[in-house]
Structures are given as structure tokens and as C-alpha cells.
Amino acid sequence: MSFSSEVKEELSHVDGHENHCMIAELAAIIGLCGKIKCEDGRYSLILHTENVSVARRFYSLIKDVFHFQPQVSTTQHEFLKKNRFYMISIEESGQTLKILKTAQLINNLGQMDEEFSVKDNPVLQRTCCRRAFLRGAFLSVGSITDPEKNYHFEIACISSEKAAQIKELFEFFGLEAKIVLRKKYYVVYLKEGAMISDTLNIMEAHIALMKFENVRILKDVRNSVNRRVNCEAANINKTVSAARKQIEDIEYIKNTVGLERLSENLRDIAYARLEEPDATLKELGEKLSSPVGKSGVNHRLRKLSQIAQDIREKGHL
């Protein structure tokens, strides 16, 4: 089971909410993936999905809020036998109208009325109902990437108005979602791990949230360790390169004018570096007959480098 399916499975079992919250969740599910039919003034409502979690949730909400018994049927793809599709339907016009009017998806004139903003939506006046609506939206047309691979959360809407409504809902919770047009869908998405964690918490997917956060923590630790290792490796490479250059300069001086021509301080550090090519500046300073600190060692090695450069340019010391 994918991480996205795990989240939906958990959300399909969230309970303990008031009727107004369940109505808000229904409004999202119907508005985003339900199909409303009106033939000869008679209404019917159909939900068609291959996700059993969505089918279960829709069925339970209808039954718990309205005490209707929706019809359930399943079909299988003719070629992909493992793909089972679920159809939950309410064929009785009076029941359908009651659901649509209660969810504020249709007005008293029988006109569809679901593109208003969050602040104007009668079913979204409570914070708990906004949580429920977001939960229903994700169950219907949402997906979340496995955090081991990437951080990505999205809700794919069939219209720009619906996408704007979802984006406004995120903004209410202090989350900055973005919208992108992908083929025929307006996709509302989040890419930051912290915002996705907040969203899982808002939807009350607490088990998924713990899993997501554990992965985030491990990834942060791994990234921190990798940065530290890379930094230390870079420092080691830098130190090795510097030591190699110092030895080249000292060998050049030795083979051209001889180390005996150097002052005692420079001669001592030159021999120390040749004997200890891998030693740090601190270790070199401690090996001298008259120990000096890192800055003193660095100064002398720079002086040797300058002498080698002068010999290369002038041919003598």
C-alpha cells in the first residue's frame, strides 16, 4: 500500500465528529468527485472511485448523517482484473436533494451553488468543519508522496474556482499552497515538509503524521551528517593539497640552493614538514625544538613558499 493510500485509509476511519463536520466533509467529497444528475427534474447522486477508503467514507457519512442506505456496486476493469471500481449512488430524488441542500451544493431554485469562497460558505464557518472539508478534499482527489522519496502533497481540482477555494482553506490555517495547471486539472500543492506535517495534523491523520515526522527527522539527521562529512572531507582535501604544495616548495629549495641556506627557524620547519607530510600545523609546531603555535608554523611555511617562488623567478635565493 502506498503512503497516500495509508493516509486515506486512516482518514476513512476518523470518527467522533458532530453532524456539521460530517456535512462539511460530504460537501468536499461530492463537490470534488461526485456526479450529480438531473433528468426530468429528478436528481440522483453518484460517487465512482477505485479507492475503497473513499467509498467507505462516503457511504458511512451518508448513512450517519441522513440515515439513508446508499446503493453499492462494484465493477472490474475488463483488462486489468486487479482494478476494482466502487459506485455509491443515491437514486431517490428527494434524498439526493436533501443531501445537496444540506451540503449547500444546490440552492432553493435547484441551481448548483458551490463556487463561493470559504468565508462565505455556510458549511465552513467553524474551524472543525474546515478541517473536515480539507479531509474530504484529500480523500476525494488528493495524493501525498512517500516522504522517503520526496515532499509533495496535492489536491487536483476540475476547476480554477474549486482550486481557489482549497487554496483559501489552506491560507486560513496559515499554509501557503500554490496552484498549477496540469493537463485539465488545477492542482493545489504543498512542497515543504513542515506544511505537509501541519496538513496531516489538520486532517487528523495522526498515525501518518508520526510516520511522516519520523522520516523527516531521519532525513534531517542524514543530511546534517552528510554536510558535516562533506565539510570535513573538503577540509582534509584542502589540508592535503596545502601540505603537498609545501613539500614541493621545500624540495625545490633543497634541490636548487639547499636547505642549509635557510635561517634556522625556516630550516627546522622545512625538515619537520618533510619528515611529517601528513601532520597538521599544530602537530608540526609541537615537533620543533622550540615549539610554536599554528600561526607561527603557518607564517614560516608561507615564507618558504615565497622563497621557492623567488628562486623560480630569479634563479637564486
pLDDT, one tens digit per residue, over 193-203 is 999 999 999 99
Q: Is the distance from CB of 157 to CB of 183 less than 8 angstroms?
A: no
**pLDDT band of 108, cuts 50, 70, 90:** low
As its CATH architecture, domain 10-204 has Roll (3.10)
Q: Is the distance from CB of 103 to CB of 62 less than 8 angstroms?
A: no
Backbone φ, ψ for residue 278 (5° rounding): -100, 0
Exposed / middle / buried, residue 102 (Cβ in 10 Å: 0-12, 13-18, 19+): middle
> CA Rg, the chain, in Å?
35
Residues 6+ apart with CB under 8 A from 127: none
pLDDT of residue 87: 92
Neighbours of 298 (CB within 10 A): 16
pLDDT of residue 264: 87
pLDDT of residue 82: 64
Question: Among the listed ranges 77-91, 173-187, 260-274, which one has the minimum average pLDDT value?
Answer: 77-91
pLDDT of residue 79: 59
pLDDT in tens, 139-179: 999 999 999 999 999 999 999 989 999 999 999 999 999 99
% residues pLDDT > 90 (the chain): 50
- Distance, in Å, from the CA atom of 59 to the CA atom of 57, rounded to the nearest integer, reads 5
**pLDDT band of 19, cuts 50, 70, 90:** very high
Once rounded to an integer, what is the mean pLDDT over residues 294-316? 87
- Overall pTM > 0.75: no
Once rounded to an integer, what is the mean pLDDT over residues 84-113? 84
Buried b (16+ CB within 10 A) or exposed e, 44-55: bbbbbbebebbb
- Distance, in Å, from the CA atom of 61 to the CA atom of 175, rounded to the nearest integer, reads 27
**pLDDT band of 212, cuts 50, 70, 90:** very high
pLDDT of residue 214: 93
Once rounded to an integer, what is the mean pLDDT over residues 257-264? 87
Set of cell numbers at residue 176 = 501557503
CA angle 21, 22, 28 (to 5 degrees): 95
| Side-chain-facing half-sphere of 146: CA atoms under 13 Å | 5
Residues of the chain with CATH 3.10.28.10: 10-204
Is the pLDDT score of 134 beyond 90?
Answer: yes
